[in-house]
Amino acid sequence: MLRFPPGRIQCAYAAGGPTAALHFSDNLAIVATANTGTRNPLVVETHRLTKAFGSRIAVNGLDLELSSGVTGFVGPNGSGKSTTLRMLLGLISPTSGTGTVLGESLERPERYLSRVGAMIETPAFYPMLSGRKNLAVLAELGGIPGRRVTDVLSDVELTDRADDHVRTYSLGMKQRLGLAAALLPDPDLLLLDEPANGLDPSGMREMRAMIRRFGDSGRTVLVSSHLLAEIEAVCDRVALIYEGHLRFQGSVKELLHRQRAELLLVPEEQEDLEALAALCREHDFEAAAQGGKVRVLAGPDQAGSLNRIASSGGITLIGLEEERASLEDAFFALTEAEEPR
Amino acid sequence: MIRVVRSQIVKLARPGVLFGVVGLCLAFTTAVAVYLALKTSSSDNVIGKAGKVAGSSHDAIASLEETAIWMGVLMLALFGHSIAAEFSTGTIRNLLVREPRRGRILAGMVVTIVIFAVAIAAAATLLAVAATFAASSGDADLDLGAAVVAFANTTLVISSLGILGGSLGVILRSPSFAISLGIVYVLIGETVLKVVVPDAGQWGFATSLFAVMHGGSEIMTNAHGALVVLVYTALFVVAAGLLFRLRDINS
């Protein structure tokens, strides 16, 4: 069940970009959500949502609950991420299961899509029309006032090239135009699939800022990306989908806390490393000397105990720090260790 | 549905379409009208079913008879490409997000085709008549009733071919496949079919189109041909509509 409560930011990222250390195995997706605190009615909710293409099940019994804000939808090809987004947009019909978007049934997309903006995969436009004309086509279709076209072109900083043919646009400009198209109806729910594709670092930063602004305004954003670091930076809620199954949904903090915490102890004298590790093991800690430090499986609440243990053995610590699990670690831990629900 | 029509017109109202396809239709019709008027004036030939008076509006009508199928083929290509490309390039996603009622999208596209057909047929009729009068140095007489019938027949022919192109675009989702299949069937396929099934001359789509184009033929009357064309056109729309409503948009 996928739900987006109002007042949150949700975004999704997938590994592979320059800032991401995580590389997805096939069929994996993560959803991250920035929690703004108050829990509002669910914006998106799915129950046992399933989509099969012949014998291949792309989305399998997805129970997702998302509320407003920014939600990330992350994963490699084939994880069911795009299929889920398409079902939310009424572009493909679920094989089974139910869901609601903005309080309306998935079976009646005409009741909610006027309040939804979307950019699915690579933005598609009429190459022989200008960016402005492309948006005008969509504005006419959606009954959206023409002045919105100018507004959103300005929002994505495409005003200067608005009257050029789209065929002359770079990939990054097409991404901006896709975002402008998504913003056109001034939506309550924004679905963005890989919005950072083709954007330069400056464009990516602007995109992040825009997503945050949108989410902070109390509306809902669902963003997919391959950059887990971006999720961690922008969102504080995550959901993980693997082979069409929901593996986790909750805050990033909660996901990270699922990982076993480690403390790194640095003795003043390097020759004390092995002795320190042995001392910790004597006190029932899992510990090993590694790279000039002793790595101990323990939470930050046990830092004082470990410090005292070291002192009791005559070892002075010059460093004692928590090694925080990354989203990448959590990602692999969930996908490699757990079986799909 | 009006929104769909307006958005389609925004999409199609670009120089490439207006000066290319529409301009080509009108220029071709005008050229044929001038040619027929000059030929009739010089030789007193009787051209076309309606052509009884040399240097008259009947030459304009004859020019429409001769060019309607080609204008229709251009419309087939225009809308076959325009609609199939929505699927092949993925822009159909944008349309369906803004207007998820697929029936309305399809109905709007059909209405847009008919609007284009009416506009092209009206302009072609006016230009053909004007060209005929100009070529005959203003001596021609005007048979308004025949001109209206020719306009209506031309509209039916080019709108049905445009709808065939659009329907094939929805069904096949490939511009080149939709255009080539449509053109090959209309210009060649049915001729081959009639060899295999001789009765096809009584009910074939292309045969009916040619009958309507010429205001009737030895095989079928104008009204019979028009009815058959309308039935085929409705079938194209229904087939395309069913597939459009049921298919997932995966592109």
Query: Which residue bears the tokens 């390039």?
Result: B89
**Which of B6, B8, B93, B97 is most worth mutating to test chain A (most A CB atoms within 10 A of its CB)?**
B97
Take residue A203 and report the two structure tokens written for it. Answer: 């464009």
pLDDT for B11: 85
Q: Are A52 and A220 in contact (CB under 8 A)?
A: no
Task: Find all residues with CB under 8 Å of B99, minimum gap 6, and list them.
Answer: A141, A142, B3, B4, B105
Closest CA of chain B from A89, distance in Å:
7
* Chain A residues lying within 8 Å of B6, measured CB to CB: 140-141
**Which of B94, B96, B245 is most worth mutating to test chain A (most A CB atoms within 10 A of its CB)?**
B94
Take residue A76 and report the two structure tokens written for it. Answer: 């490699």
Q: Which residue of A has its CA nearest to B8?
A: A137
C-alpha A90/C-alpha B181 separation (Å) is 31
Strand partners, A241: A29, A246
Query: Which residue bears the tokens 């309507």?
Result: B212
Closest CA of chain A from B170, distance in Å:
15
pLDDT for B59: 65
pLDDT for A18: 32
Q: Does B111 touch chain A (CB under 8 A)?
A: no
What ipTM score was computed for the predicted complex, to two decimals?
0.80
* Chain A residues lying within 8 Å of B249, measured CB to CB: 86, 91-92
Closest partner residue to A137 among B11, B93, B96, by Cβ?
B11
pTM of structure: 0.76
Burial of B195 (0-12, 13-18, 19+ CB in 10 A): exposed
pLDDT for B8: 86
- Ordered mean pLDDT values, 10 residues apiece, chain B (251 residues): 86 80 77 70 50 52 76 89 91 91 92 91 82 67 76 90 93 91 87 83 84 81 88 93 89 64
Query: Which residue bears the tokens 């989410």?
Result: A215
Q: Are B45 and B58 in contact (CB under 8 A)?
A: no
- Ordered mean pLDDT values, 10 residues apiece, chain A (341 residues): 43 35 38 44 89 90 85 78 90 92 91 90 88 93 90 89 91 88 91 81 82 84 76 74 82 72 87 89 88 85 88 89 74 63 42
Q: Does B94 touch chain A (CB under 8 A)?
A: yes
**Which of A141, A179, A184, A192 is most worth mutating to test chain B (most B CB atoms within 10 A of its CB)?**
A141
Closest CA of chain A from B13, distance in Å:
10
pLDDT for A34: 46
C-alpha A283/C-alpha A286 separation (Å) is 9
C-alpha A5/C-alpha A220 separation (Å) is 8
Query: Which residue bears the tokens 């290509």?
Result: B77
Q: Does B3 touch chain A (CB under 8 A)?
A: yes
Count Cβ–Cβ pairs < 8 Å, chain A vs chain B: 73
